[in-house]
A and B are shown apart, each in its own frame.
Chain A
Amino acid sequence: MFLKQYISDVYQGVKSLLRGMRRTGYYFTHHKEIITQEYPDNRDTLVLAERFRGEVVMPHDENNEHACTGCTACELACPNATIKIVTRFDVTPEGKKKKAIDTFVYHLELCTMCNLCVEACPTSAIKMAPTFEHSVTDRSKLIKKLNRPGSKIREGVE
C-alpha cells in the first residue's frame, strides 16, 4: 500500500511538472503570444485596457455643455480631497436661482485613481480617461480646471 502511494506520488509529480514545461515550451515557441508593448515606439498605435484609469476628465459636447450640476457628491466621495467644486447661483429666465458650477478644480498630484468620484456622480458628468503621460516641470501645472471656459450645464440634466 505504501509502495503504491509512493509510486503514484512520483508519477503525479512528474506529470504535473511536464504539464508546466509544456505550457512554457508553448510560450517559448509562439512569439505572437507576447503581451509586452514597446511603449515609446508604438505610441501612435498604443492600445490600453478599456478600464484603464489615468486621470479624471469632464466630457463636453459640441455645444460646450457638460452634465455637472455642482452637487459636490464627487467632492464628498473623494478620500483625499482631490476635487474642489466652487459653485455659483445662476438666475433662470423665470427669476429663480439655480445652483451651478463655477470651477471644477482637480488636483492630479493628489489623485490615487480610485474611481470613487466617478461612481458617486449621479449624472455621469466625469469619467476616467486613458492618458498617462502626466509629467510636467512644475507642480502647479497638475492643478486642473475640468470645466471649459464659457461652458454651461446641458438642458434637461437635473
Chain B
Amino acid sequence: MLSLEHITNAVHQWLYGNLSEGWALFAEFVIIGVLAISLFSILGLVLIMMERKVSAYMQVRIGPNRVGKKGMLQTVADTLKLIVKEGLTPDGADKFLFNLAPFVVMVVAMVILAPIAFAKGFQIWDVNIGVLFVTAVSSVSVIGILMAGWASNNKYSLLGAMRSGAQIVSYELSAGLSILCIVVLTGSLRITDIIAAQENGWWLFKGHIPVIIAFVIFLIAVTAETNRAPFDLAEAESELTAGFHTEYSGMKFALFFLAEYVNVFIVCAIGATLFLGGWMPLHIGHWQGFNHVMDYIPSSVWFLGKTFFLIFVIMWFRWTFPRLRIDQLLNLEWKYLLPISMINLLLVTVIAIAGWHF
C-alpha cells in the first residue's frame, strides 16, 4: 500500500545514495521548506473559503458564489488582488520593525509545524520535547503582534497589540494546563509517544470526564490564543478598526491574515493529536475486526479529518458567540478557566497514578 511514510523513506534513501551527506541534508531542507510554504498557501485559500462559507450558512446567507464553480475560486481572486496592491509603510512608522513584524508572525507559525505528525511516520522533526516545544514557540507569536502594534505608531494598533499581549499571556496558562493533563496520562512529551499511547482508544474517550473538561478548556484557550472571535480583542473591529494590523496593506496584511488561519490549523492539529489521537484511526479496545476495518482508512485522512472537524468547531464558536469585553475576558480566564483546569489537572493526576483510565 502506498503511504506517505514509504514515499519519504524512498526520497530519503535516494538522496543519501546519490549525494554526499551534507548536500543530501540540504536537499531535504529545501524539500521541506517548499512543502511547508505550499501547505501554508493552500491552507490559506482553503480555510478562508471554508470560513466564509461556514459563516454564510450560519447567518442564513449564501456566501461567495460568483467566482468559479459555486464561488470556490473567490479566495484565489482575493489573493491576486492583495498581491497587486501597494504595501504602504506609514511615514511615522518604525520602518524596520514595521516590515519585519509580519514575517515574525509567519515564521513562528512555520516553526510550530515542525513536531506535528501529519500521518504515520510523516513528521518533520520528532523531538523528544514536542509538546513543550509547541507551547514555548507559540508564545513567541505575541512578539510579532506587539512589534506590529508598536511600530505602526498608531494608538489603535498599540492598544490592540497590548490587549493581545495580555490575552495570550493569560490564556496560555489554561491551554498549558490542559495539555499537561495529556502529558501526565501519557508520561511523555514526544508527539509520537502520545499518539502511540492512543492505539486502543483516544484520550478523549479513555480519560473519563476530566479529559473532556480539559479538551473543552483547551478549545476555549486556543480560540483566545489565536485572537479569534469571541476573543478578538486584539482586532476588535468595532473599537479599534483592525487592531494591530490597522496600518498594514497589500501582501503584508495578507501575511497577518494567513498567519491567523495557519495558527488555527496548527492549534487544531495539536488538539487533534493530544485528545483525538492524531493520525491514529478510531480503535476501540479489543475489537480486532472493527480496528482492522478502521486501519484501511489512510492515516493522513484521519489526521486531516480530525483537524478540520476541530477547525469547524472553532468557526462555529466564532459565528455563534457574542464578543467579550476586555475585563470579562480576563475574568473568564483567571476566575473560571484557571481554577477549573488546576483542579482538573489534580483529578487527572489521581487517575493516572491510580491507573483508572482504560
Q: How far is the CB of B336 from chain A (nearest CB, A)?
A: 6
A34 in contact with B60 (CB, 8 Å): yes
Contacts of A38 in B (CB 8 A): 62, 65
Q: Determine if B125 is an interface residue (Cβ-Cβ < 8 Å).
A: no
Q: Which residues of chain A are near B23, meaning CB under 8 Å?
A: none
Q: Which of A22-30, A46-54, A148-156 contacts B (4 or more CB under 8 A)?
A: A22-30
Q: What is the CA–CA distance of A38 and B340 in the complex, to the nearest angstrom? A: 48
Verify if B241 is at the interface (C-beta below 8 Å from A): no
Distance in Å: Cβ of A27 to nearest Cβ of chain B: 5
Residues of B within 8 A of A24 (CB): 58, 316, 319-320
The answer to the question of B61 belonging to the interface, with a C-beta cut-off of 8 Å to chain A, is yes
Pair B58/A28 contact, Cβ less than 8 Å? yes
Contact of A31 with B57 in the complex, beta carbons under 8 Å = yes
* B54 interface residue per 8 A CB criterion: yes
| CB-based contact B316/A21 at 8 Å | yes
Instruction: Tell me whether A17 is interfacial, beta carbon within 8 Å.
Output: yes
Once A10-B336, A20-B320, A21-B316 are accepted as A-B contacts, the answer to whether A28 and B54 lie under 8 Å apart by CB is yes
Does A5 count as interface, using CB distance less than 8 angstroms?
A: no
Judge if B13 is at the interface, Cβ distance under 8 Å.
no
Q: Considering the complex, which residues of chain B in the window 217-240 have a beta carbon less than 8 Å from any beta carbon of chain A?
A: none
State which of A17, A20, A27 has its C-beta within 8 Å of the C-beta of B60: A27
Please report the C-alpha to C-alpha distance between residue A24 and residue B340 in the assembled complex, in whole angstroms.
Answer: 28
B321: Cβ under 8 A from any A Cβ: yes
Interface size of A by CB at 8 A reads 15
Whether A27 lies near B321 (C-beta < 8 A) is no
B59 at the interface (CB under 8 A from A): yes
Closest chain B residue, CB of each to CB of A35: B60
Q: What string of 1s and 0s marks CB contacts (under 8 Å) between B325-351 and chain A? A: 000000000001000100000000000
Chain B positions 87-106 with a Cβ under 8 Å from a chain A Cβ: none
Chain A residues closer than 8 Å to B54, beta-carbon distance = 28
* Chain A residues closer than 8 Å to B60, beta-carbon distance: 27, 33-36
CB within 8 Å for A34 and B61 given contacts A10-B336, A28-B54: yes
CA distance A138 to B246 in the complex (A): 40
A-B contact pairs, 18 of them (CB 8 A): A10-B340, A20-B320, A21-B316, A21-B317, A23-B320, A24-B58, A24-B319, A25-B316, A27-B57, A27-B58, A27-B59, A28-B57, A28-B316, A34-B60, A34-B61, A35-B60, A36-B61, A38-B65
Give 8 closest A-B pairs by Cβ, nearest first. Answer: A24-B58, A24-B320, A20-B320, A36-B62, A28-B57, A36-B61, A21-B320, A28-B58
